[in-house]
Amino acid sequence: MSKGNIYNDFLEKAEWLEDLDAYEKAKHDDDELVPSDVVKRLLSGENKIKVWREYRALSQTELSKLSGMELATIAQMEGGKRTGSVLAFKKIAEALQLDLDDLV
């Protein structure tokens, strides 16, 4: 076997090991993988609370109960009729199991 072939074989195996290492790290990563349709909705400017609520398969009533907020407040925030305080967004983020940054 020539030196060029040994070197190329070595490079190929090193790349394979890097891929395997990346795969193992991704398997144990706590970051949530979000479907592309959800990302597209968020990027298109849809209301973030509504998009995440629907992704979590919650009704407005369920989100209201989980967040300890009034149903009307949730509906108004989703409809753009109310901006909501930082505390309101924090409660909703916790109920949706998100970081506050995901909603603002």
Residue 93 near residue 99, CB atoms below 8 Å: yes
**CB atoms near residue 93 (< 10 Å):** 20
- What is the span of the domain harbouring residue 89? 47-102
CB 102 within 8 A of CB 52: yes
Q: Are residues 60 and 87 in the same domain?
A: yes
Examine residue 35 and state whether it is found in any structural domain, yes or no. no
pLDDT reported for residue 3: 66
Cut 0.85: pTM above it: no
Please check whether residues 25 and 52 belong to one and the same domain: no
Please tell me the predicted confidence (pLDDT) of residue 30: 66
Q: How confident is residue 82, by pLDDT bands cut at 50, 70 and 90?
A: very high
- Predicted pLDDT at 87: 96
Instruction: For residue 14, tell me if it sits in a domain.
Output: yes
Q: CA-CA distance, 51 to 67, in Å (whole number)?
A: 16
In a domain, 60, yes or no: yes
**Looking at residues 91-101, what average pLDDT do you find?**
96
Q: How confident is the model over 8-31, as a mean pLDDT? A: 79
Q: For the chain, what is the mean pLDDT?
A: 90
CATH assignment of the domain containing 59: 1.10.260.40
Long-range contacts of 48-57 (CB under 8 A, 24+ apart): 48/102, 48/103, 48/104, 49/74, 49/77, 49/78, 49/92, 49/96, 49/103, 50/78, 52/96, 52/98, 52/102, 52/103, 53/78, 53/96, 56/96, 56/97
Whether 97 is covered by a domain: the verdict is yes
The domain total for the chain is 2
Establish if 38 belongs to a structural domain: no
Judge whether 39 lies within some domain. Answer: no
Extract the tokens encoding 3. 């030196």
